Structures are given as structure tokens and as C-alpha cells.
Homo-oligomer: A and B are copies of this chain.
Amino acid sequence: MKDIAKIAGVSINTVSRALNDKPEINEKTRRRIKRIARELNYTPNSIAASLASRKTKTIGLIIPDICDPFFAQQARGVEDTAKEEGYSVILLNTDEISEAELKAVATLRSIRVAGLMLTSVFPGTDHIENLNKQKVPLVLLNRRCQEIDTNYVINDNQKGAYKATKHLIKLGHKKIGVILGPQRITSVLDRYVGYKKAMAEAGIELSEKYIVYGENLKPSTGEILAEQLLRNNPRPTAILAYCDSLAIGAYAAARNMGLSIPEELALVGYDDIPYAQYFEIPLTTVAQPAYNMGKAACKIILEKIKLGGDEKDLESQHIVFEPELVIRKSCGAQVQIESSWSDY
């Protein structure tokens, strides 16, 4: 930039104005400067720009595991919307480990991200309050926060689980096991509540033995938990999994134990990952619009960034998507054939 200024015979500031398309500059000089910049193969140093302007063009995204297609789709939604406005996204996986989340938030704070989307697994709120204090826009993805008011984007977890459970009940099941995730996660609680509500409405008593919690959302965990459920006597005739990833583990467990799905075990998942329809026994599941949820979260962030911590911007945004039960074979209901593949 200094070199450009020297060659163009103008001040550094003018070069900055030209390259950043500021208004107070002659159109000819702008073009000339841009040409020189191109000839010099100049790459703007956004680090320096960030330091000087105290603004960055990066936002952070903290999720449990990008390998889970549900989060991958959300990440894609985030990245696409961020890119539209010239923002880059830094991705951090936590594996549902609380300490990893704290560390992730710390590094992103130090990188001075302009905003932050968080699928939180941490029970505390200190890190969230810190962000608020520093006026870093935050939206919780897939999570609510009971203690403090924050932006969030979720699907109606309670309703989704309610729908799924009710569906199983309608199919005649009474002994319905449920595989949940870490208990500290709000959406786990919400889906549990939905399950409980449906059971209560049907007058079915809950059994502690039919409710298991996992430390993460990986299929291997689902497999262990499903086996645990299926060793009960009497054995549950249906399983509701917190998410499709865990449901995949349940498939494996059933296979291990020689149980056929759906005849001997009905299975319902949550998320509707794109592969669920292609399984040997296509998975009945509760669909969430993952991509659009990511988009929505990012849009909120972008909006808040533009407002720039404006005092008038007091209210936080809450977007709740509608969950939709997708009935396939794994639950044992009648099904119609699915249409073509629709990309992630």
C-alpha cells in the first residue's frame, strides 16, 4: 500500500480510500490506483485493517461435530450467508465437551470475531455473559438459555419429540425407550419433556429404565445405549433417539442382538439427515431445516453486527422452526416411496 502510494504519487490514505471504494475520491484516481494495485499483485492486509478499525470480517461457529451431517448442513448455511457479506467463518468442534467449548470461546474472543454462533454444551453462563459485556453478537444454535436472554435459533424440540412419541403410541407401542444426549443440553431436556408429555397424555407410566443419557451424540454411543435399553426386561418395543446419529447406533445394536426393525423394534430418530432415507430400513425421523437454521442464525449475527451494539437494539431474537415428522419404514407404519434425492 505504501508502494502503491509512492508509484501513484498520492498519499497512503488516498490509496486506502480508492481500494475500499470510499466516496471521497476521484473516479479516475481510483481506477488508476486499482490498476497499480493489480499490477503489484497487492493483497490487502485485513489484519492491519482490523486492528485499526477495530472490526473484523470473521465470525465463529462452535458446534459439537462437523462430521454429523446435521451440523454440517447448518455450517453450510452459516458459511453461505456469511460469504455473501464478505465474512469468513472459523469452525470449532467441541465433541460435546464443556472445556472444549470454553476454550473455543476464549480463542474466538481473542481472535476478535465479529460475531459468534454457538451450539452450547456448557451448563454455565459466564462465557456468554463475557461476550455480552464485550458486545460480541451471539446466537445460540439449537439451544436456549434459561438464565440469560440471548438470541437463539432452534426448532421446537418439545413439539418434535411429542409428535414422534405420539406417533409411536398410535402404532400401539407402550414400552417406548428413549436415548438422549448429555443431560445439561437444553434441547435434550426439551425433547425429553415432549416425550414425557405424549406418554402422560396416553396414560403410560414412565419407566426410569427406559430413559438413558449419553455423553455425546455419536453412533457408537447410541449403540451402547440402545443395547442397554434392549437388555431390559420387558424389552422396549420402540426407541426414540435424540438424533439420527444416535439412531444409527440403535440400528447396529438391533443387528447385534438379532432384533429386526421394525417388526421387533420400532425406531424413530431426530434431524432427518440426508442419508436417513437411504438406510436399509429407512429411518422415521423428525425433520429440522438444518441449512435454513444455519442461515437464520447467521443473518441474525450479520444484523447485530450492522447495528454495532446500538443501545436501542435491546431485544434479542428468537427463531423457532417447526419440526416435521417424516414417516418411513423404521417405525413400522405404512409408507410411501420417497421421491428423488434433494441435496443436503
A residues sitting closer than 8 Å to B (CB atoms) are 41, 43-48, 50-51, 56-58, 65-67, 69, 72-73, 75-76, 79-80, 83, 86, 88-93, 106-112, 130, 133-134, 218-220, 222-223, 248-249, 251-252, 255-256, 274-275, 278-282, 337, 340-344
Contact = CB atoms under 8 A, between A and B. Distances in A.
B58 A67 contact: no
A175 to B, nearest CB: 24
Nearest to A249: B341
Given A73-B67, A275-B278, A46 B110 contact: yes
17 contacts: A43-B110, A45-B112, A47-B47, A47-B112, A58-B90, A65-B344, A66-B66, A66-B75, A67-B343, A76-B93, A80-B93, A86-B107, A88-B107, A91-B91, A248-B278, A249-B341, A279-B279
Contacts of A341: 219-220, 222-223, 248-249, 252
A43 B109 contact: yes
A47 B43 contact: no
Contacts of A223: 340-341
A50 B56 CA distance: 13
Residue from A67, A79, A343 whose CB has the most chain B CB atoms within 10 Å: A67
A72 B75 CA distance: 11
A222 B89 CA distance: 29
Given A45-B110, A47-B51, A343 B72 contact: no
B111 A93 contact: no
Residue among A46, A110, A218 with most chain B CB within 10 A: A110
A343 B280 contact: no
A255 B220 CA distance: 30
Contacts of A134: 43
Contacts of A65: 76, 344
Find the residue from A73, A107, A130 having the highest chain B CB count within 10 A.
Answer: A107
A76 B340 CA distance: 29
Nearest to A252: B341
Nearest to A107: B88
Interface centre among A248, A280, A343, by most chain B C-beta atoms within 10 angstroms, is: A343
